[in-house]
């Protein structure tokens, strides 16, 4: 089946630094990648949608200069949290959809727990 | 845009009993309805899905029903086991490549 690998699973960084999260589709071509943020005991909140080779489309209220998304290949998308602050601490999850899976296949990564100290 | 509501937010059942989670959606154009199970500290995992041209789908102890007219769909888990304890999310989508709209989630606790 379709597998999405997300790394790192946990990261702790100092306030003001940047953190990069990677999301790879291992056995299919991810034409579309979605990035979510999840606060404790809450649902997934879509941050942005990216299509391979195109600029990401950000949801209302999400700062595109703070959450940089790159989707340069059909198997890799990255989310960079720039100048991280404690309020950016959260669980970040990617999801991929594309060719090689069932028509509506949306496969999720395992998530990244970001803690900014 | 699409709006998905999910109930209940928490559900506690005795091992062996059934659990039912209900979702309603607002956009009649939505045609794919997946259900995800999320364990603590992990990403959501697809457990079952249903398309709008089907009224019911079953996979062992899990079943999903869809009522297009009423715009609601439900997840049924029979013979619950402690390992079924997790957060379950319903979702709806109109077409491949579009964004999923999630319900608020249901925290299921199966008591041994």
DSSP letter for each residue of A9-58: SEEEE-TT--EEEEEEESSSEEEEEEEEEE-TTS-EEEEEEEETTS--EE
Average pLDDT over residues A69-98: 93
Residue spans of beta strands (DSSP E) within B52-111: 56-59, 62-67, 72-77, 86-92, 101-102, 106-111
What's the sign of the alpha-carbon dihedral B38, B41, B42, B44?
positive
Q: Collapsing DSSP states into helix, strand and coil, what is residue B101?
A: strand
Q: How far apart are CA B9 and CA B43, in angstroms?
A: 19
Nearest to B35 by CA among B14, B25, A35, B26: B25
What's the pLDDT score for residue A103? 47
Contact A113 B41 (CB under 8 A): yes
Residues in chain A: 117
Q: How far apart are CA B1 and CA A111, in angstroms?
A: 26
Across the A:B interface, residue pairs with CB atoms under 8 Å apart total 49
Facing A44 at nearest CB: one of B46, B96, B102: B102
- The per-residue pLDDT string of chain B (112 residues; one tens digit each, 9 = 90 and over) reads 889 999 999 999 999 999 999 999 999 999 999 999 999 999 999 999 999 888 999 999 999 999 999 999 999 999 999 999 999 999 999 876 688 899 999 999 999 9
B61 contacts B76 by C-beta, under 8 angstroms:
no
Q: How far apart are CA A54 and CA A71, in angstroms?
A: 7
Facing B97 at nearest CB: one of A4, A46, A97: A97
Q: Is some CB atom of chain B closer than 8 A to the CB atom of A112?
A: no
Q: How far apart are CA A13 and CA B18, in angstroms?
A: 43
What's the pLDDT score for residue A72? 81
Q: Is the pLDDT of residue A81 over 80?
A: yes
What's the pLDDT score for residue A99? 65
Confidence of residue A104 (pLDDT cuts 50, 70, 90): low
Q: Collapsing DSSP states into helix, strand and coil, what is residue B83?
A: helix
Tell me: the pLDDT tens digits for A13-30?
999 999 999 999 988 888
What's the pLDDT score for residue A102? 55
What's the sign of the alpha-carbon dihedral B34, B40, B43, B46?
negative
Q: Is some CB atom of chain A closer than 8 A to the CB atom of B99?
A: yes
Q: Is the pLDDT of residue A42 over 80?
A: yes
Contact B45 A95 (CB under 8 A): no
Beta bridge partners of B88: B37, B106
Average pLDDT over residues A19-42: 92
Q: Is some CB atom of chain A closer than 8 A to the CB atom of B49?
A: yes
| β-strand pairing of A112-116 with A10-13 | parallel
> In a mutagenesis test of the A interface, which of B5, B43, B54, B96 is the best target, namely the one with the most A β-carbons within 10 Å?
B43
Confidence of residue A112 (pLDDT cuts 50, 70, 90): very high
Q: Collapsing DSSP states into helix, strand and coil, what is residue B84?
A: helix
Q: Is the pLDDT of residue A68 over 60?
A: yes
């Amino acid at each position: 089946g379709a597998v999405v690998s997300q790394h790192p699973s946990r990261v702790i960084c100092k306030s003001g630094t940047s953190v990069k999260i990677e999301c790879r589709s291992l056995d299919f071509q991810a034409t579309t990648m979605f990035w979510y943020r999840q606060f404790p005991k809450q649902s997934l909140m879509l941050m942005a949608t990216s299509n391979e080779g195109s600029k990401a489309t950000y949801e209302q209220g999400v700062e595109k200069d703070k959450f940089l998304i790159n989707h340069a290949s059909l198997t890799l998308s990255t989310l960079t949290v720039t100048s991280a602050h404690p309020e950016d601490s959260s669980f970040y999850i990617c999801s991929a959809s594309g060719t090689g899976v069932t028509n509506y296949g949306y496969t999720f990564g395992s998530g990244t727990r970001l803690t900014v100290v | 845009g699409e709006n998905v509501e999910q109930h209940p937010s928490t559900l506690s059942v005795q091992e062996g009993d059934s659990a039912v989670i209900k979702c309603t959606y607002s956009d009649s154009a939505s045609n794919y309805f997946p259900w995800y199970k999320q364990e603590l500290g992990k990403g959501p995992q697809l457990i079952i899905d249903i398309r709008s041209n089907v009224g019911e789908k079953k996979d062992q102890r899990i079943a999903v029903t869809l009522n297009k007219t009423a715009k609601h769909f439900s997840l049924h888990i029979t013979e619950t086991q402690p390992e079924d304890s997790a957060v379950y999310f319903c979702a709806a989508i109109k077409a491949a490549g579009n964004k999923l709209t999630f319900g608020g989630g249901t925290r299921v606790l199966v008591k041994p």
